[in-house]
Amino acid sequence: MKTKIVLISVIIIIINSFSASAQMDCRSMLGAHLTPFKKDGNLLWAIEGTTGPGMMTSPYDSLAEDKTKIRGGMILAALDFGFMKNKSHIYFEGGYKNWQNSAYVDNSTLTDSRHFGMRQAFYSFSNEKTKIKVGLHETRLGDFFLIDERVLGASIDKEIGAFTINVRGGTVNKSFARMGRFCSNRHLYSIVNPDFTEKIGKKVGETNLVGFALNWNPHHVKEKVETKNNDEFSSSNDEFHENHDFNEFGNSDEFSDNNKSNSKQSFSVKNVGVIVYDEFGTEEYIPNNKLYTGLLVDFVLPFGFFMQAGGVYQNMLNNNTIAYIAKIGKSQSWNNGSLTKISGAYIGKYDIDNNAIFQPLFSNLFIGEVVRMDAPNFPLWQAAIKHRFPGKLKIHIAFKAVGELENSKTNEQDIEFGLLAFKKHLKVTVIGSRIKSIVFDNGIMMARIELRLAF
């Protein structure tokens, strides 16, 4: 206990020593470091501090060079109480943030933010076939790109034979939205828009969602089978958004560490998913109801590759359109324990109404480190390669690229290097980016280092 108190003090000093000028990412390692207050106790806690200084060149000729620093800090703390043989949990997670928005945004209401905030507060229940969360929590809806958000509501997953049912329902507002006032990573550089939550309500009930997804595994057998990855139902979503960053459009099992390529494996359908999803709210924020229906199919290909393809139809007044996706990738485990992942994807849309805009509020794809491209930027292409080296430090290097084919024709290339040290308590990530767009006077270069310490 005394050790943790000392470490808390050190983290606070480190974070406040950086005069923040950009908002921090909200990835977390808290869950991996939850420890009991007492030996074999049911009440666990953890704390984490993050800081990430860096530099970015100016996209506009009119801005001075001394306004390109990127700095900020955050402290997160978590409490987890388990009962009913650890099938049920009550979980709280919140923290303090010290940051300022990018100097590239003039007259923004988000230019300064030093405050406390709640990240998650929920009750969860899980057994072999059922997972439930109720309260404030992060969630997705299957592998579809319609929901990746922090909601006040309920998430239910139920496995019935070869089928898995996913149900989501709740409300979202600016105070706790994943890209909102606290714990948001979309304002990190703020080179295009200072507020990416302008269409999300300020009060509970102003912007809401409800959705249903059904997944069918055609290879299901009666014996116990490996279920689809449901990391969002862990207590604190360890590295939830980081994993999602590199697997932009789903959590296909072919990207797991256990997969090995098999040149003899033939073509087959691995999973078929259907979705019905609705966004509704007050006249100010959602004047026209938005209904989405979609189909997504996962394929297993020869030589260890996988493919994911499907589409989502948006039914909305004067905004009927279809968004579609095709992704291919491969995960290769090597004999020395290293792992290589590659992927490429294209997301486009077909307009039924002229100039229709695909506009789910809570999709939050955030493709790209700096520009964070999303559904309004379709059509997009994306490619990535990541290699994790063997060893205790978990060293990895990654290259990612994304491009917008129309509108501003923005494109970005990123390189990332990371490792874990001090028995996985310290995570170090170095990121470099290059961005070009017709909306900027200059191409942008960015480099920063992110330090995350958790106990």
d(CA 378, CA 145): 13
Q: What is the pLDDT of residue 236?
A: 41
Domain 2-454 belongs in CATH node 3.40.50.1000: no
Q: What is the pLDDT of residue 198?
A: 74
d(CA 368, CA 413): 8
End-to-end CA distance of the chain: 11
Q: Take residue 215 and report the two structure tokens written for it.
A: 């997944």
Strand duo 112-126 + 130-140: pairing: antiparallel
CA nearest neighbour of 50 among 423, 427, 419: 427
Q: What is the pLDDT of residue 9?
A: 43
Q: Give the pLDDT confidence score for residue 62 in this predicted structure.
A: 64
DSSP string, 364-423: ---BSSSS-B-GGG-SEEEEEEEEE-SSTT--EEEEEEEEE-STT--EEEEEEEEEEETT
Joined tokens for residue 192: 């295009």
Contacts of 190 (CB under 8 A, 6+ apart): 22, 23, 101, 102, 104, 105, 108, 110
What is the reported pLDDT for 365?
76
Alpha-carbon distance 121 to 19, whole Å?
A: 29
CA distances from 395 to 53, 251, 338 (A): 21, 22, 10
For 275, the token pair is 């979705």
Q: Residue 373 carries which DSSP code?
A: B
pLDDT by residue (tens digit) across 166-224?
999 999 998 888 877 665 455 556 665 545 677 899 999 999 999 999 999 998 886 45
What does the pLDDT read at residue 273?
Answer: 96
The Cα 276–Cα 152 span in angstroms is: 20
Q: Pairing mode, if any, of strands 130-140 and 148-160?
A: antiparallel
Domain boundaries, the chain: 2-454
Strand partners, 296: 273, 310
pTM over 0.85: no
Q: How far is CA 13 from the centre of its chain?
A: 28
Predicted confidence at residue 132, as pLDDT, reads: 98
Regions of the chain with pLDDT less than 70: 1-27, 61-68, 99-114, 181-196, 222-265, 364
Buried b / exposed e along 258-281 (16+ C-beta atoms within 10 A): ebeeeeeeeeeebbbbbbebbbeb
Give residue-wise pLDDT tens across range 353-381.
998 989 898 886 778 888 878 887 889 99
